[in-house]
Chains A and B, each alone.
Chain A
Amino acid sequence: MLDLALVPRTERSRSAPIVVPLIAVVLTLICGTLLLSLIGKSPAAVVHSFFIQPLSSLNGIGEIILKAGPLILIAQGLAIGYRANVWNIGAEGQLIVGAIAGATLAIIFETSNSVFLLPAMMLAGAAAGAAWAGIAAFLRVRFSASEILTSFMLSSVALQLLYYLVTGPLRDPMGMNFPQSIVFGSAALFDVLIPGTRSNMSIFVGLAATVLAWFFMSRTIHGFRLVVGGMAPDAARYAGYSSARAIWLSLLIGGACAGLAGVGEVAGPLGMLQRNLSPGYGYAAIIVAFLGGLNPIGIVFAALLMALLYVGGDFAVVSAGVPNASATILQGMLLVFYLAASLLFTHRIVRKSVKVAA
């Protein structure tokens, strides 16, 4: 019998940041396929519709880009906070509030043709998302309330706020009482990236965020202080870094990114404010941030994979007849397997040496 043992690593592993996500992906593939074949779906058909179909049409690729954009943007913001040990899990709510702020501008300036409308919407969305996350930061700094709970609960509040607005003040007066706003004018929308698809220019916002996040975390003293605070809180206190500042910075950045992503939705594929703004981007981005090893470059690849799962899930529902929830289940599996495999960051597996009794 193979006798294996876990041994703590003595130095940082170079391969683990690549091996760990790969293990998670492969295990998800195996178990996901197994699970779906248990309910009588052909594994080949499932794999085909999940992973081959989306990549074999321009439309599929456009959809992947469309969904990767907000995931990248939100995950970059969240990862900064996570490296500082600040656990913002309310990006979904920050996205909603950002979308509301952006949409409000688009509705007020319904007829505007100004090139400044879209930038103004982005600014408003980022500010609103940051402000929403700022509530959690204030509660944490002032009352030591866990930001995990408050940011999460604030998401529910944001959702109710959205429901109120789309059925009340921001509802389209000519919309026959449907809970949605007017359709935005073209000055309030992102341009299409690949003609014939829904993908749009907002993907560049995500890519710009990637470059900024990398620069901030690896080149500035503020990023360094956040990392120290996350790795060794006592060392941060010893060095005199303010933990309140780290909490504010982390949550404001995360909130601004999520709010911006919200504007990307209403000014992109939706073109209006409605009840369903996001297929859970704010939560999926948490998985993306970790799967990408909290590393700006890793996050881009993780977001593309997660987007593939979203799009593949849609295809699989139609062509392989899998349940609607399969994509969510696969996301969940991915996170669980990633967390399990992340033990390999700190430990390695060795074969036990056979001992001879003295």
Chain B
Amino acid sequence: MTVPLQHPKHAALQNDGLLVLDGITKAYPSVVANDGVSVAFRKGHIHAILGENGAGKSTLMKIIFGVTQPDSGTMLWKGEAVAPRGPAHARALGIGMVFQHFSLFETMTVAENISFALPLPLKELSAKIRDLGERLDLVVDPGQPVHDLSVGERQRVEIIRCLLQDPELIIMDEPTAVLPPSGIPKLFQTLRKLADDGRAIVFISHKLQEIRELCHTATIMRAGRVVATVDPTVTPESELARLMVGSAIPAPKRDSHGFGTSPALKIESLDLPAPDPFAVALRDVSLEVFPGEIVGIAGVSGNGQSELVKVISGETRLGASGAGAVRLGGEAIGSLRAGGRRARGMAFVPEDRLGRGAVPSLSLADNALLTAPARSFAPKGLVSFSKVKDLASAIIAAYDVRCGGPDALARSLSGGNLQKFIVGRETALDPKLLIVAQPTWGVDVGATAAIRQKLIDLAKKGAAVLVVSDDLDELLEITDRIHVMFRGRLSDGHRAPFDRNAIGLAMTGFIAGEERATAHA
């Protein structure tokens, strides 16, 4: 199904296929990542590649950028057949890529970092960086060391580095994933300018709103194939989602219910120095979560969320004197190990599934045992394997975990299925307090909806739920109250109905009614 392109502004450029892929196929031992993919990128166009995790977006980009080679299929660059042998070759052709994960040396300045890609005298390079920055409104100081820059600024450095090599086609891999909401309009502005310059932009994302707002064309991939190419400005979001997932997505159902009166979790004026130079110190953090309530912690990642979560989970323990700073149902638990907190009714879904939430090389049954209470699953120290297996099977059934059964190794599951298993395991403990970090990171749309619904159901049954997420939309959708974490401090709670802009601003350090907090965004 292909909807003809009808974007008025670019109608004249339609035949101007800068890069045309035809029948690209790439198979890996266990999966066909790209199956006969055909797509054309045009000059002056912002072209979205939309798909769930594992749909084959990354493989396709790797092929275009020469990181990997296709098994079959052709690539036409300006009408000529090419086969990029590696990133250097792709760059020489005029293809640039901005990766989601930055590759910058923290201790060097912006100009020094860029000089690796473009060996010019630093003075000349700095002038070019400033010049380009002014032209495209991508302002960074070439002499500033990278460790002083915010995530948004680092991304700008990556973009500038890419642009200085004057590419005609620019691949942006999930560029908004690392930005606070307030940084996104600016990025879009830049991308539009680049497109108006006559460059082709490939925008990889699974955020439908952004694609509808920014892109001229959207190619939707599912299970390695192109399922549709549409004009996203006229295609409704629900239709894009349906194409991406292959079925309609139920929205989480909520109803209002009362909260308990005494907090299940109470953190009072918690100060914690940074354990290592790359961690964030927590400063005067106070937080309460009541039974039945879902509380969200928003913020750009790296502002102290993971440090806070570890203090609550017990992975970081406070000394006996500080034990009272964290209370579970009134009891001081700050100095207890995670096991002791679990025994008192805490459960926790960490952001890293493999290696923390689950042991990759152990079976799901063994991973169910990981946090199961030893008293009932290993009486007298002897593991009851039949009980453990039953528990794993029950979780698999209840949460629709797609896997080879309780004996399947944890690492054989997709991210979303493993997350469903871990959420299932932790909720099976029937916790008084559930902490969930990044519940739907890298999880496909279908599993995301299921996981969010489970969290809502758990709160409805009277559990206190604390959700830490980079995805503000997720928090707006499921929480009753949102706190924002910025540089180790926690804001006051925002209550529903939420003011999206106020929360977004707080994520960059702005606090309503105050001057701009500490440095830049």
The 8 A CB mask of B355-389 against A (1 = contact, 0 = none) is 11111111000100111001001100111000000
Tell me if A194 counts as interface (CB < 8 A to partner B).
no
| Alpha-carbon gap, A234 to B358, bound state (A) | 9
| Alpha-carbon gap, A219 to B382, bound state (A) | 6
Give the residues in chain A near B315, CB-CB below 8 Å: 237-238
Contact A358 B83 (CB under 8 A): yes
Neighbour of B339 across the interface among A219, A222, A240, CB < 8 A: A240
B45-53, B71-79, B128-136: which lies at the interface = B71-79
The 8 A CB mask of A9-31 against B (1 = contact, 0 = none) is 01110000000000000000000
Tell me if B412 counts as interface (CB < 8 A to partner A).
yes
Give the residues in chain B near A358, CB-CB below 8 Å: 69-70, 72-75, 81, 83
In the complex, residue of chain B having the shortest beta-carbon distance to the beta carbon of A221: B378
Contact B72 A356 (CB under 8 A): yes
Give the residues in chain B near A238, CB-CB below 8 Å: 313, 315, 338, 348, 350, 356-357, 370
Tell me if B175 counts as interface (CB < 8 A to partner A).
no
Interface residues of A in 330-354 (CB under 8 A from B): 353
Give the residues in chain A near B70, CB-CB below 8 Å: 358
Contact B370 A235 (CB under 8 A): yes
Contact B383 A219 (CB under 8 A): yes
| Alpha-carbon gap, A353 to B362, bound state (A) | 32
Contact A224 B369 (CB under 8 A): yes
Interface residues of B in 396-452 (CB under 8 A from A): 409, 412
The 8 A CB mask of A203-224 against B (1 = contact, 0 = none) is 0000000000000000111101
In the complex, residue of chain B having the shortest beta-carbon distance to the beta carbon of A239: B370
Give the residues in chain A near B350, CB-CB below 8 Å: 238
Contact A234 B352 (CB under 8 A): yes
Chain A interface size band reads 20 to 34
Tell me if A113 counts as interface (CB < 8 A to partner B).
no
| Alpha-carbon gap, A292 to B69, bound state (A) | 41
Neighbour of A231 across the interface among B29, B30, B362, B369, CB < 8 A: B362
B291 to chain A, nearest CB (A): 23
Knowing A222-B381, A224-B383, the reply to whether A241 touches B339 (Cβ < 8 A) is yes
Knowing A10-B29, A235-B359, the reply to whether A220 touches B339 (Cβ < 8 A) is no
In the complex, residue of chain B having the shortest beta-carbon distance to the beta carbon of A8: B29
B28 to chain A, nearest CB (A): 9
In the complex, residue of chain A having the shortest beta-carbon distance to the beta carbon of B357: A238
Tell me if B516 counts as interface (CB < 8 A to partner A).
no
Give the residues in chain A near B314, CB-CB below 8 Å: 240
Tell me if B62 counts as interface (CB < 8 A to partner A).
no
| Alpha-carbon gap, A270 to B406, bound state (A) | 52
Contact B338 A355 (CB under 8 A): no
| Alpha-carbon gap, A355 to B25, bound state (A) | 12
| Alpha-carbon gap, A247 to B188, bound state (A) | 53
Contact B348 A220 (CB under 8 A): no
Contact A228 B362 (CB under 8 A): yes
Tell me if A38 counts as interface (CB < 8 A to partner B).
no
Contact B355 A237 (CB under 8 A): no
A218 to chain B, nearest CB (A): 9
Knowing A231-B361, A240-B339, the reply to whether A12 touches B409 (Cβ < 8 A) is yes
A353 to chain B, nearest CB (A): 8
Residue of B73, B341, B382 with highest tally of chain A CB at under 10 A: B382
Tell me if A232 counts as interface (CB < 8 A to partner B).
yes
Neighbour of B83 across the interface among A232, A237, A242, A357, CB < 8 A: A357
In the complex, residue of chain B having the shortest beta-carbon distance to the beta carbon of A230: B359
| Alpha-carbon gap, A240 to B362, bound state (A) | 18
Q: Which residues of A contact B (CB under 8 A)?
A: 7, 10-12, 219-222, 224, 227-228, 231-232, 234-235, 237-242, 353, 355-358
Given contacts A220-B378, A240-B314, 7 further A-B contacts (CB under 8 A): A12-B361, A231-B360, A238-B315, A238-B370, A239-B339, A240-B338, A358-B72
Q: Which residues of B contact A (CB under 8 A)?
A: 29-30, 69-75, 81, 83, 313-315, 337-342, 348, 350, 352, 355-362, 366, 369-371, 374, 377-378, 381-383, 409, 412
Task: Identify the 5 closest CB pairs spanning chains A and B, nearest first.
Answer: A240-B339, A240-B338, A221-B378, A234-B356, A232-B359
A-B contact pairs, 29 of them (CB 8 A): A10-B29, A11-B412, A12-B409, A219-B382, A220-B382, A221-B378, A221-B381, A224-B366, A224-B369, A224-B383, A231-B362, A232-B359, A234-B355, A234-B356, A235-B355, A235-B356, A235-B358, A235-B359, A237-B338, A238-B315, A238-B356, A238-B370, A239-B338, A239-B339, A240-B337, A240-B338, A240-B339, A240-B342, A358-B81
